Homo-oligomer: A and B are copies of this chain.
Amino acid sequence: MSAATGTQPGPLTRADLAAATGADVREAVRAGRWTRATHGLARGRVQANLAIVPEAYAYDFLLFAQRNPKPCPIIEVTDTGDPEPRHCAPGADIRTDLPGYRVFRDGRMVEERRDIKDLWRRDHVAFLVGCSNSMDEVLESAGIPQRHLEQEDGRISVYTSSIPCRPAGRLHGPVVVTMRPIPAHRVEDAYAITRRYPLAHGAPVHVGPAAEIGIPDLSKVEWGRFNPLRDGEVPVFWACGVTPQAIAIAAGVPEMITHAAGHMFVTDLQLAETRS
């Protein structure tokens, strides 16, 4: 572990892990020293959504991701039965290194857990999908305020849109979106900056009236928290890595295991190196 996280056991603060490496964060999670959402941790590293499906669904899922790169930009797909993401996080264990998991069965969320050691099977395939936590940093460093980070829990506003994903095999459903209030004069910048980060969902999918993408009332979030707009701000919507969960629900996928909201997998990849 790095100097930042120390050698003494015990809980850590978000500040302790802000400058940590991805491996540091994963070790802290595995040791039970970090159990909360991961925004702001290991700054500069790519964070990832998780979706584990049985091999029988892996082709449909990978094809779905290929056809829907904005909500589902693939960072890595593990070999069947192998819980180690060898490319983006050598030595990691996908069964223990996220601070929270959700289990979906037959299209319903049935359980939240701290690890999935006893659920992992030899026919499981883990998909790591890009996450907009990575984008927060990029926007912040350009001086574009991130309303959802003004509170410690960092909960962003998440909605199911009326934008359909392109279906693949048995999988279909809507694009899930995050909303950030952006000052009108920075919207163009936010677009230009984020389009260069395809692994963090890339450019916005919609700018302006929420009703145009099937969201009747912004105050009614589906996940996260409503972060109100202030004078002169425009709602800007990006595709969100929660989309696989919406697909599990819409398509009644027999089994999918995901991260819990905001409790992401932290990779070793440098965000700057994924810039296109």
Interface status of A77 (Cβ within 8 A of chain B): yes
Tell which of A33-41, A58-66, A102-110 binds the partner: A58-66
For residue A169, give the distance in angstroms from its CB to the closest CB of chain B: 8
Interface status of A276 (Cβ within 8 A of chain B): yes
Known: A58-B59, A67-B77, A276-B276. 14 other contacts (CB 8 A): A59-B59, A59-B62, A62-B62, A62-B63, A62-B66, A63-B77, A66-B66, A66-B74, A67-B87, A79-B169, A80-B169, A87-B166, A196-B276, A198-B276
Count the copies.
Answer: 2
A216-246 vs B, Cβ < 8 Å mask (1 yes, 0 no): 0000000000000000000000000000000
A162-181 vs B, Cβ < 8 Å mask (1 yes, 0 no): 00001001000000000000
Q: Which residue of B lies closest to A58 (CB)?
A: B59
Residues of B within 8 A of A67 (CB): 77, 87
Residues of B within 8 A of A80 (CB): 169
Q: Which residue of B lies closest to A195 (CB)?
A: B276
Instruction: List which A178-214 residues lie within 8 A (CB) of chain B.
Output: 196, 198
Distance A87 CA – B66 CA, assembled complex (angstroms): 12
Residues of B within 8 A of A196 (CB): 276
Residues of B within 8 A of A79 (CB): 169
For residue A164, give the distance in angstroms from its CB to the closest CB of chain B: 14
Q: Which residue of B lies closest to A275 (CB)?
A: B276
Distance A87 CA – B79 CA, assembled complex (angstroms): 29
A241-276 vs B, Cβ < 8 Å mask (1 yes, 0 no): 000000000000000000000000000000000001
A69-112 vs B, Cβ < 8 Å mask (1 yes, 0 no): 00000100101100000010000000000000000000000000
Ranked nearest first, the 9 interchain pairs of A and B with the lowest CB-CB distance are A276-B276, A59-B59, A62-B62, A66-B74, A63-B77, A58-B59, A66-B77, A62-B63, A62-B66
Which of A62, A67, A166, A198 has the largest number of chain B CB atoms within 10 A?
A62
For residue A82, give the distance in angstroms from its CB to the closest CB of chain B: 12
Residues of B within 8 A of A62 (CB): 59, 62-63, 66
Which of A58, A59, A80, A198 has the largest number of chain B CB atoms within 10 A?
A59
Residues of B within 8 A of A169 (CB): 79-80
Distance A238 CA – B169 CA, assembled complex (angstroms): 33
Instruction: List which A49-63 residues lie within 8 A (CB) of chain B.
Output: 58-59, 62-63
Distance A63 CA – B74 CA, assembled complex (angstroms): 11
Q: Which residue of B lies closest to A276 (CB)?
A: B276
Residues of B within 8 A of A198 (CB): 276
11 chain-A/chain-B pairs, Cβ below 8 angstroms = A58-B59, A59-B62, A62-B62, A62-B63, A62-B66, A63-B77, A66-B74, A67-B87, A79-B169, A87-B166, A196-B276
